[in-house]
Amino acid sequence: MLKINEIFYSIQGESSYSGLPTVFVRTTGCPLRCTYCDTKYSYFEGAFLSIDQIIKKISSYNTKYVCLTGGEPLAQKEVHLLMTELCQLGYLVSLETSGAKSIENVPEKVKIILDVKTPDSGEGQSFLFDNLKWAKPSTEFKFVLCSETDFDWSELFCRQYELFEKYSVLYSPSFGQLSPRRLAEKILEKNSLARLQLQLQKYIWTPETRGV
Ligand code: SF4
């Protein structure tokens, strides 16, 4: 059984799957408390569902894209079983994870969107460095930037660990904190190799109307 906060159908707003109709499975619980967290309702609220019940709900939507998000999906061990079954059924599965939990046992076919929390997120010490060993070529590293200081810190991090050479790196401005335009200017000024990523869902929906 997995504790699930919600399952809904919407447009993927982030990663290289951005824009694709996707079923989102939001798990309950997260060990972190980022300053900008917009899913605080997922910390505790939810209902226990079996893998079969989750897959039945997913299959009621007409898409092959499934995104496991949270909360922190990897906070519940059984999520590995869910990912394995979804891959076997032919779904294209992405996993959004905070970077604080090990990605070692994530099934090969799953696309991992791996956050690296910046200092101004309030969780700048949370990154599990072993994850650098487990990242796959398809892994996308995501930095949510709250300030220009966060930008400078992220550039250093990416260069120190050669992320630009090995992976896709996404810089996303924290909504309402760092303007997309300023971040775009910084990327150009500093010849960064990161890809500017806007949280598409924030421009389409209100919290009350984000999909079905
Ligand atoms: S990792 Fe995600 S769900 Fe957890 S506190 Fe941070 S933003 Fe919220």
Question: What does the pLDDT look like over 37-70, one tens digit per residue?
Answer: 999 999 999 999 999 999 999 999 999 999 999 9
Cα-to-centroid distance, 115 and ligand 1 (Å)? 10
pLDDT tens-digit readout, 121-163: 999 999 999 999 999 999 999 999 999 999 999 999 999 999 9
> What does the pLDDT average to over 164-176?
96
Atom of ligand 1 nearest to the CA of 31: 4
Best of 30, 43, 127 for a ligand 1 pocket test (most atoms within 8 Å of beta carbon)? 30
Q: Is 72 in the pocket of ligand 1 (CB under 6 A)?
A: yes
Pocket probe for ligand 1: among 14, 25, 33, 37, the residue whose CB has the most ligand atoms within 8 Å is 37
Mean pLDDT of 179-194: 97
pLDDT per position as a tens digit, 10-27: 999 989 999 999 999 999
Q: How far is the CA of 32 from the centre of ligand 1 (A)?
A: 6
**Is residue 144 lining ligand 1, measured as CB closer than 6 Å?**
no
Which domains does the chain carry?
A: 2-204 (3.20.20.70)
The whole-number average pLDDT for the span 182-187 is 98
Pocket test for ligand 1, best of 14, 26, 27, 32 (most atoms within 8 A of CB): 32
Please give, one letter per residue, the 3-state secondary structure of the chain: CEEEEEEEEEECCCCCCCCCEEEEEEECCCCCCCCCCCCHHHCCCCEEECHHHHHHHHCCCCCCEEEEECCCHHHCCCHHHHHHHHHHCCCEEEEEECCCCCCCCCCCCCEEEEECCCHHHCCCCCCCCCHHHHCCCCCEEEEEECCHHHHHHHHHHHHHCCHHHHCEEEEEECCCCCCHHHHHHHHHHCCCCCEECCCHHHHHCECCECCC
- Whether residue 32 has its Cβ less than 6 Å from ligand 1: yes
pLDDT of amino acid 211: 65
Give, using CA atoms, the residue closest to atom 8 of ligand 1. Answer: 37
